[in-house]
A and B are shown apart, each in its own frame.
Chain A
Amino acid sequence: MKRARKRARANKMGRSENQHIILRVVAKLLIPLIAVYGLYVHFHGDYGPGGGFQAGVIFASSIILYALIFGLDEAKRVVPPSWIRVIMTLGGLVFGGTGVATWLLGGEYLNYTMFAPDSTHAAGQHWGIFAVEIGVLLTVTSVILAIFYAFGSRGGSRRPNNAPNLSDEDKS
């Protein structure tokens, strides 16, 4: 009980300076690496394991790590919830739009060869897979963030005082 009161006081005084300093430093080091690794997994998907889905999950997890360490409000300043709604839809539209584009170019739906019909090294396929994976990446990243924001923002009604805070929102 005493500890809980102490922590509450520390919260009021702004514990950001001293508490969790190791976590903060390590996270600052790791977050850009995780984000770049996510992009690597995405753009390397044609050559190694990975692709849009895995890359989206890894990229989202870098932002989730940021939210866990620095608080949900800070994360919402990095990736505002209003973006998520747009990006989520955009991903689906990019995937579907690729199909419509091949359609308009005279092929079947999602027949990527239409992007470069004369290519000898299947460039059309490469472009099509690239476009489609971008769509998957956008949707997966934003949906995982949407789920995290939605759950993380809910203050638990039965949450005890000394519970580890997922968000720094209800500090006051």
Chain B
Amino acid sequence: MSSLTPAFILDIGLLAMLVMVAIAVVRLRSLFAIVMLQGVYSLISAAWFVSLDAVDVAFTEAAVGAGISTVLMLGAMLLTEREVKPVPMRRQWAPLFIVVVTGMAMFYALGDMPMFGDANSIANATLGVEYVEATKSQIIIPNVVSAVLASYRGYDTFGETVVIFVAGLGIVLLLGLNGNAGRWRAKPNGQDISQIDEQDIS
């Protein structure tokens, strides 16, 4: 922090870009541009994670955040409007208040955070060191992240896989794999009530 190393300047630059992209996303009206900028945001944060030596996180962020969710957001955008409806100013004060208060609380809490890369912080000093040391003799693979993820924290990963499975199950049940679940007709007592609904909508 004390000296202006290239890595520090890079971090500041990436964070400044993140802030600029975020402001642009808030101010833009075109949903297409917003979705694209969200992809840009993910890509910049992936680059920032690499700069913080969190390569696995950066990998996931680049693949999921910049790749898949951009495609999914575009797919979702095609089903709705192209433009954001402008929100009247009087309805923006409450969100602004919440954001400012939360931001101030986070800055207040910043003093209790350990410095970046602090060897004496709780995460680095106790369990982290234990896993790094034990992986050498117990799992014997170079990537400690994989060792922790799949072996030491196997239950957590199993839980995550089940969460992903349940998400897919929910999608399949609600939308159907061919997206035609919405065309299902409700027939209480053998009577087709969908005709009435369609008239109401149109």
Contacts and interface: CB of A to CB of B under 8 A. Distances in A.
A158 B171 contact: no
Given A46-B141, A53-B60, A166 B75 contact: yes
Given A57-B60, A57-B68, A154-B79, A88 B168 contact: yes
Interface stretch (B3-11, B19-27, B175-183): B175-183
B113 interface: no
Interface in B141-187: 141-143, 145-147, 149-151, 154-155, 157-158, 160-162, 164-165, 167-169, 171-172, 175-180, 182
Contacts of A128: 150-151, 154
Contact of B72 (A41, A85, A148, A154): A148
Is the interface on chain A under 10, 10 to 19, 20 to 34, or 35 or more residues? 35 or more
Contacts of A69: none
Contact of A143 (B63, B79, B168): B168
Contact of B147 (A64, A129, A166): A129
Given A46-B141, A112-B151, A129-B147, 18 more contacts: A54-B56, A57-B63, A64-B71, A81-B177, A85-B177, A110-B151, A129-B139, A136-B157, A142-B168, A143-B171, A146-B171, A146-B172, A147-B72, A147-B167, A148-B75, A152-B75, A164-B78, A166-B78
Interface of A: 41, 45-51, 53-54, 57-58, 60-61, 64, 68, 81, 84-85, 88-89, 91-92, 95-96, 99, 109-110, 112, 121-122, 125-126, 128-129, 132-133, 135-136, 139-140, 142-144, 146-160, 163-164, 166
Q: Please provide the 7 A-B residue pairs with the shortest distance between their CB atoms, ordered closest to farther.
A: A153-B179, A143-B168, A81-B177, A154-B179, A150-B175, A110-B154, A151-B75
